[in-house]
Amino acid sequence: METTNAARIAKRAAMRRATLHLVLGIALLDAIAMLTYYAAIVHAPERTKMIFTGIWTVLTALVVAVLLQRVRRVRQKPLTTDHAP
HSE-CB for 25 with a 13 A CA cutoff: 18
Whether residue 36 lies inside any domain: the answer is yes
Q: How many domains does the chain have?
A: 1
Q: Which parts of the chain register pLDDT below 50?
A: 83-85
pLDDT (0 to 100) of residue 72: 95
Whether residue 37 lies inside any domain: the answer is yes
Whether residue 8 lies inside any domain: the answer is yes
Whether residue 15 lies inside any domain: the answer is yes
Is this model's pTM higher than 0.85 or not?
no
pLDDT (0 to 100) of residue 20: 97
How far lies 7's CA from each of 10, 19, 25, 41, 45, in Å? 5, 18, 27, 49, 55
Parent domain of 45 = 2-76
Whether residue 10 lies inside any domain: the answer is yes
Whether residue 83 lies inside any domain: the answer is no
Whether residue 85 lies inside any domain: the answer is no
